[in-house]
Amino acid sequence: MLKVQNLTKLFEKNRAVSGATFDVARGELICLLGPSGCGKSTLLRMIAGLALPDAGRIDIDGKDVTEAQANRRPTAMVFQSHALWNHMTVAQNVAFGLRVQGLPKPEIAEKVAAALTLVGLDGFARRRPAELSGGQAQRVALARCLVVEPKVLLMDEPFSALDAHLRANLREELKALQRRLRLTTIFVTHDQEEAMELADRIVVMHAGRIEQIGRPGDLYLEPQTLTVARFIGQMNEATVTLKAGRADWLGQPVALPAPDGPVTLLCRPEDLQRDRAGIDVRVTRVIDLGPMIRVTVATDEGAALTWVCGREGQPQTGAPLTLRPSRLLAYRDGQRLGTAAPVANRIMAERV
Ligand SMILES: Nc1ncnc2c1ncn2[C@@H]1O[C@H](COP(=O)(O)OP(=O)(O)O)[C@@H](O)[C@H]1O
Ligand SMILES: [Mg+2]
């Protein structure tokens, strides 16, 4: 439905977006994910026609729209702040796009009512934006987009200003609606949990560039760059020297078939296991997260690690522990090098 090729936007000499290339299939929900300032909004605005690219091309449903004006594109956008017109009722706000199209009044009324039903706002037609909660206002903003039946729905951090509980509810509602209507959607967020929950695929951005595109689980398990690995979920990180396919991660021997040199080895907290042999540490902090316990520990040399465990068997602060990594991701020059295999114990490593 949407094809973005080599899209680039410069502000002065600053590359806000650099060579962005990706596709969105019909009915797919893509999240643009990355830290603040990485170019997500700029990329979305170029797709919407609110900013003109310096290079690249945008096709929607097989048509080149790179130079087309915003109102000539089959897109509609929901912004972080709802941007409703305060002097109009909810119904008038939702009707706006249809009035611009010059549709007959009865048809507009019908479509507006249907859109308000879709977003769960039956009976709100006569209210003013000032009489709505933040969540209701965002639902109206969504209805205002849905009513024009865009080919691509664009959403720029639409729930960021809302509290966590409401945000989670709206996310679920949006996902259900998006599936039901098979809406082709690009959803911008800096919140990785939001992206993991909503997206069919996530486009991870950093400093104007696309770092990786993948399904949520694939990004989590197989981050292809150090930036993605650090951005998605938690990681324990140490840079070590690889020699003859062997390295030492906090005293743990690991095997990695790669040329000699420095490697950054990352281990997820849940990929550390309590064991008899491994890294000897002392518990420095126990954080109760409810469904699980996050434990920070320190080695004798002072390196800090994060580990997670269940409620039962949670250790006390100050207690000694032995942790063994079961899976380590290796990176060199910011790029994935492979998966380092932890060697079972020291004796075996010495034999090798
Ligand atoms: N209108 C503008 N003029 C100059 N610089 C801009 C403008 N809009 C965005 N930028 C810059 O482009 C970069 C990307 O911004 P933006 O796309 O808003 O990032 P994000 O949405 O990921 O937070 C930032 O460095 C930002 O300061
Ligand atoms: Mg933004």
156 and 77 Cβ atoms separated by less than 8 Å: yes
Q: Once rounded to an integer, what is the mean pLDDT over residues 300-322?
A: 93
Compute the distance between CA of residue 77 and CA of residue 152 in angstroms, rounded to an integer: 9
Q: Once rounded to an integer, what is the mean pLDDT over residues 180-197?
A: 96
Band of the pLDDT at 344, cuts 50, 70, 90? low
- Name the nearest CA neighbour of 186 among 82, 71, 76: 76
Q: Which residue has its alpha carbon closest to ligand 1 atom 16?
A: 39
The predicted pLDDT at position 31 comes to 98
Does position 351 have pLDDT exceeding 90, yes or no?
no
Residues found in the chain? 352
* Structure tokens belonging to residue 154: 């664009």
The predicted pLDDT at position 312 comes to 87
Does position 8 have pLDDT exceeding 50, yes or no?
yes
Q: Once rounded to an integer, what is the mean pLDDT over residues 265-284?
A: 94
The CATH classification of domain 234-351, taken from the options 3.40.630.30, 2.40.50.140, 2.60.40.10, 2.40.10.120: 2.40.50.140
Compute the distance between CA of residue 246 and CA of residue 142 in angstroms, rounded to an integer: 54
In the reported structure, the alpha carbon of residue 42 is separated from the centroid of ligand 1 by a whole-number distance in angstroms of 6
60 and 73 Cβ atoms separated by less than 8 Å: yes
The CATH classification of domain 2-230, taken from the options 3.40.50.1240, 3.40.50.300, 3.30.465.10, 3.30.1330.10: 3.40.50.300
The predicted pLDDT at position 328 comes to 94
2-230 and 234-351: identical CATH topology: no
Residues with CB under 5 A from ligand 2 (ion): 41
In the reported structure, the alpha carbon of residue 43 is separated from the centroid of ligand 1 by a whole-number distance in angstroms of 10
Compute the distance between CA of residue 38 and CA of residue 78 in angstroms, rounded to an integer: 19
Compute the distance between CA of residue 25 and CA of residue 28 in angstroms, rounded to an integer: 5
Residues with CB under 6 A from ligand 1: 11, 14, 16, 34, 36-42
The predicted pLDDT at position 149 comes to 93
Axis crossing angle, helix 105-118 with helix 90-101, rounded to the nearest 10: 130
Looking at every residue in the chain, the average pLDDT score rounds to 93
* Structure tokens belonging to residue 341: 């295999």
Does position 352 have pLDDT exceeding 60, yes or no?
no
The predicted pLDDT at position 347 comes to 43
Q: Which residue has its alpha carbon closest to ligand 1 atom 6?
A: 11
Residue ranges per domain, the chain? 2-230, 234-351
Biggest CA–CA distance in the chain, Å, is 83
Compute the distance between CA of residue 79 and CA of residue 82 in angstroms, rounded to an integer: 6
Q: Which residue has its alpha carbon closest to ligand 1 atom 17?
A: 39
In the reported structure, the alpha carbon of residue 158 is separated from the centroid of ligand 2 by a whole-number distance in angstroms of 10
Q: Please name the residue that has the structure tokens 């009489």.
A: 131
- The pTM of this model reads 0.91
229 and 38 Cβ atoms separated by less than 8 Å: no
Ligand nearest to the CA of 79: 2
The predicted pLDDT at position 21 comes to 98
SS3 state of residue 18: strand
| Best of 10, 31, 36, 42 for a ligand 1 pocket test (most atoms within 8 Å of beta carbon) | 42
The predicted pLDDT at position 348 comes to 43
Q: Which residue has its alpha carbon closest to ligand 1 atom 20?
A: 37
The predicted pLDDT at position 80 comes to 87
Compute the distance between CA of residue 283 and CA of residue 320 in angstroms, rounded to an integer: 6
pLDDT digits (tens, 9 = 90+) for 62-88: 999 999 999 999 999 999 887 899 999
In the reported structure, the alpha carbon of residue 56 is separated from the centroid of ligand 1 by a whole-number distance in angstroms of 18
In the reported structure, the alpha carbon of residue 55 is separated from the centroid of ligand 2 by a whole-number distance in angstroms of 20
